[in-house]
Amino acid sequence: MHALLFLFDDVAFVQTQDVPIRELWYFLPIGYLLTIAIETPVLLIGLSRKISVRQRLFCGVWLTACTYPIVVLVMPMLFSDWRRWQYLTVAEIFAPVAECALFWLVFHGTKDLTSRDWTESFVAIVVANLASFGAGEILNYYGWFGLL
């Protein structure tokens, strides 16, 4: 596992931990819109059918709104002296775990969700986060994030 994560240090990606906070603020709305454009369709398909389409759309926007600023603005400052793979590991574990917790807090008493519904929903949240992470890494590799 360590060897796989070590690969993230070998590529000349943008080191968000080294970027001035002002530039991260410029990037925040662009990255947020890109993230919800990727994650919302995954959540529309993957969240339990007992969650209405309107609520699934809301989850696509709201869950990311709760975690994205922490990943983009707070964590780079907290982990400025960490290697990139370490920062990414923490950030990409934090986001889906926090989003699953928020989802549970909102829906645990309001719907008749079975264990299968919860599992499907949590898997959808994790897959959505992996999809946006992967897309971000590809765009970063090809220099799309040149504004940083």
pLDDT digit string, tens, across residues 91-139: 999 999 999 999 999 999 877 899 999 999 999 999 999 999 999 888 8
Q: What is the pLDDT of residue 145?
A: 59
Q: Do 80 and 55 touch, CB atoms closer than 8 A?
A: no
Kindly report each contact of residues 137-140 with a partner whose C-beta sits within 8 Å and lies 24 or more positions away, as own/partner.
137/13, 139/34, 140/13, 140/14
Is residue 18 very low, low, confident or very high in pLDDT (cuts 50, 70, 90)? low
CA distance 5 to 38: 23
Residues 51-104 pLDDT 10s = 999 999 999 999 999 999 999 999 988 888 888 889 899 999 999 999 999 999
Q: What is the pLDDT of residue 77?
A: 87
CA distances (Å), origin 37, targets 12, 57, 115? 26, 11, 28
